[in-house]
Amino acid sequence: MSTPPGAGIDRARLEHSIDELGRIGATPRGGLTRLALTDDDKRGRDLMVRWMREAGLRVTVDQMGNIFGERAGREPLPPVMMGSHVDSPTRRARAFSRR
């Protein structure tokens, strides 16, 4: 099975995005604290919404603050869903390493 055109991941862009998000709530010793409902959490969420809109997604946020990005498919098929979070525990070590 071959990879469809445009389905690849631009590693440099991904690393840049992870670094950019990681600067929000960065600690002096290289860790990260971006607790839910803090100003840093809002800045991280706002950045994610911006990226999603730039990618052409229709973005909605529910009453609990969950962010949804939707890209309509070309065919009427069931949706594919995935999720994550942009907050972090207190003083999280940065886990991303370049190889």
**1-55 tens-digit pLDDT:** 566 666 688 889 888 998 899 899 998 888 888 888 899 999 999 999 999 999 9
Number of residues that make up the chain? 99
DSSP code, position 3 = P
DSSP code, position 92 = E
In DSSP notation, 35-86 reads -TTSHHHHHHHHHHHHHHHHTT-EEEE-TT--EEEE---SS----------S
Q: What is the pLDDT of residues 70-87, one digit of tens each?
A: 988 889 999 888 777 777
